Amino acid sequence: MNKETVLKAEDVAKTYHPGNVSVEAVQGISLSIEEGEHVSIVGPSGCGKSTLLYLLGALITPTSGRVIINGIPTENLKDRDLTGLRRKSIGFVFQQFNLIPTLTARANLGIATRLRGMAAGDEICRYLQLVGLEDKMDRRPNELSVGEQQRVSIARALVCNPAVILADEPTGSLDSKTSRGIMELLTKLNRENGRTLIIVTHNKKIAGMAGRVLHMLDGKIKG
């Protein structure tokens, strides 16, 4: 059975201009990621892994080249349409969890569903149960352990049912035991639910769990 391409980068480059210098964080990368794939992006610090991830997730726009999400070219989309596409298609998991500190776990997921126009009280409970936090739904992030916070972050990424999960060092702030639990959860979601999973990581063991590993160096994919 042919699988659909959910993300495609065509000769994508991103140059930053901090001060008077130019930094080519990503240089002419082309790649395709199919539905249900589990891809790891590895490489040394500063090689452009996170930048590539954010380009694929349309959180930043490329300096040149183009990104296609679910068959929709993003280069000419207005901010509102691009945000809508990201909201519909992409779920982000960050190293620092990035939960809204004043809101409970339930409300953090609630914001994501409301932004998508979903009335999803049951879905919120279901995903918090899925990540094992059914008894901590009404706790704020500071009342949860770091592992639990990352679980809330994963549940938030999943609750709107996106086709792709982009995870930037999702275990970077966790101890090895908690990391293992989080990765088991993510790979389970990939295998059993068919979610496309792209993970940026330093960790070779975590990278090795993916079906495909992209090695980056100096803004380019080396293999």
Partner 1 sequence: MISLAISNLQRRKVRSAICILAVALGITLLLVLVGLCSGVISESSRRVVRIGADIIVQPAGSSYFLGLRSGNLPVAYAGKIEEIDGVAGVSPLMTWTTTINNVIHVIYGIDLESFDRIGAGLSLKKGRYWTNDNEVMVDERLAKATGYKVGDEVTFLARPFTICGIYRAGIGSRVSMPLPALQDLLKQKDKASLFFIKCASRDENVVSTVAEEIAGRYPGLRPTEVAAYAEALQGNIDYLDEFIGTIISAALIISFLVILLALYTTILERTREIGILRAIGATRSYIMRSIVLESVILCAMGVLVGYLLSFLSTRWILFAHPLLTIETSTGWIVIAGGLGILGGVLGALYPALRASFLDPIEALRYE
Does 101 bind partner 1 (CB under 8 A)? Our answer is: yes
List the one residue from 31, 59, 72, 146 that touches partner 1 (CB under 8 A): 59
100 vs 217, beta carbon nearer partner 1: 100
Beta-carbon count within 10 A of 85 CB: 16
197 vs 209, beta carbon nearer partner 1: 197
Between helix 176-193 and helix 146-159 the angle, nearest 10°, is 20
Does 103 bind partner 1 (CB under 8 A)? Our answer is: yes
Between 147 and 166, how does the x/- string for binding to partner 1 read (CB under 8 A)? ---------x---x------
- Torsions phi, psi of 90, nearest 5? -120, 140
109 vs 209, beta carbon nearer partner 1: 109
Structure tokens at 11: 């000769």
Cα separation of 207 and 190, whole Å? 14
Sheet containing strand 196-200, strands side by side: 90-93, 164-168, 196-200, 38-42, 212-217, 220-221
50 vs 190, beta carbon nearer partner 1: 50
The helix or strand, by DSSP H or E, that contains position 130, with its residue range, turns out to be helix 121-130
170 vs 209, beta carbon nearer partner 1: 170
Cα separation of 38 and 41, whole Å? 10
CB of 83 to partner 1, least distance (A): 5
**Interface residue list for partner 1 (CB under 8 A):** 54, 59-60, 79-80, 83-84, 86-88, 92, 94, 96, 98-103, 107, 110-112, 114-116, 156, 160
